[in-house]
Each structure stands twice: as C-alpha cells, then as structure tokens.
Amino acid sequence: MTKQNRNIVFTTIAIENATDKLIEKLCKRYSLKKGEIVKLAFQYLVKANINPSDAPESVKSELAKINKRQDDIIRFIRNYEETQLNPMIRTSHSIAIKFDTIVKALETVILSQLEQNQEKYNSVLHRISDQFSKHADVINNQGEQIGSLYQLQKNDNTKLLKLISLYSELATCGVMEGRRKENLKAEIMNLINEK
C-alpha cells in the first residue's frame, strides 16, 4: 500500500471560502477527508453523466414528467380497451347468445321427435302384444328385449340431453372463464367416452 501512495501525485485547487465551508460540512456529515469527498463527488458526476454547469431540474418538474407518462400509458390502455377488447367481448357475447338460441331450438325439436318416437314404440308394443297373446313365452322374451332397448335408448336420450346442456353451458361461458370451460370440455369428453 505504501508503494501505491508514493506513485500518487497530489495537486491543489483554489476554491472560495463558501465552497470550502460546504466541503467541510459534508466531510463532518459523512466522516470523510476533503480529498475523498472531492474525489467521490467527481466520480458521481462522471457516473451519473451530470454536467455541473447545467442547473438541476426541480423535483416537481420530474414528477410532472412521470405523471405525464403515466397518463399517456393510462390513455393508451383505455383506447386499446375501447377499440380492441370491448368489440371482441361484444362479438363473443353475441355469438354465445346465438349459439344458445340454436341449442335451445334443437333441444325442443329433439324432445318433440323423442315424444313422437315414444308414441310409435308404444303403439308397436301394443300391436305385438295383441298379435302374440297366445304365445306368452315369446311375448315375455320380446318384452324384456324391448324394455332393455327402451332403457338403452332412454339412457342415450338422457346422455344426449346432458351433452346438449353441457354444450349450451360451454357456449355461455365468458371470455375470462377458462377454467370453467376446461371443466365442461372434460365433462363432455367423459360423457362421450362413457359406454
């Protein structure tokens, strides 16, 4: 360390009394020597890229600049919301409403068809029962088969109505309901894959 100190060349600068008092005040406050404080001050000016001849700007003007930038960002976000997000939300909502209307119309058509088919099945069962009343064993066997088919069809119809209901719920899910959509899709896939 002593070798390094021997190589350092010290110079002096002339400063006025007021500046000297300011330097001494700073030296006391930060427990530094005059040479150290001057050295650190110059390093700070270089590092911060500050021109000492320029008058420093006030805190008020800096805060005003920051506030203006914040206002610009808020204006941009609001504009983006108005021009991009709100039309997308309105469009997706109208699509969901149309899809819901279509699904409900399909549901009523399917239910009416099911009722008509049920009436046809009932009339066929009565005819079969009347024609084969003499053959009780055959009728019982056929009745059991038709009953199981009816149960299968009833289960299929119930499954179909459940699928329609799930698709309707999926259609009415909003843009932000991603988790609900995923749950509905999984439920639909489980119902489709169910035997």
Cα–Cα distance for residue pair 54/177, rounded to 1 Å: 56
State if pTM tops 0.75: no
Of 91, 89, 74, the C-alpha closest to 176 is 89
Angle, alpha carbons 117-119-124 (nearest 5°) = 95
At 1 the pLDDT is 44
- Whether the CB-CB separation of 93 and 175 falls below 8 Å is answered with no
Domain boundaries, the chain: 2-56, 60-193
Of 7, 58, 14, the C-alpha closest to 38 is 14
| Regions of the chain with pLDDT less than 70 | 1-6, 55-57, 59, 131-139, 142, 170, 174-177, 195
At 89 the pLDDT is 86
Segment holding 31, helix H or strand E: none
3-state secondary structure of 107: helix
At 32 the pLDDT is 92
At 93 the pLDDT is 87
At 177 the pLDDT is 67
As its CATH architecture, domain 2-56 has Orthogonal Bundle (1.10)
Segment holding 52, helix H or strand E: none
Cα–Cα distance for residue pair 147/152, rounded to 1 Å: 9
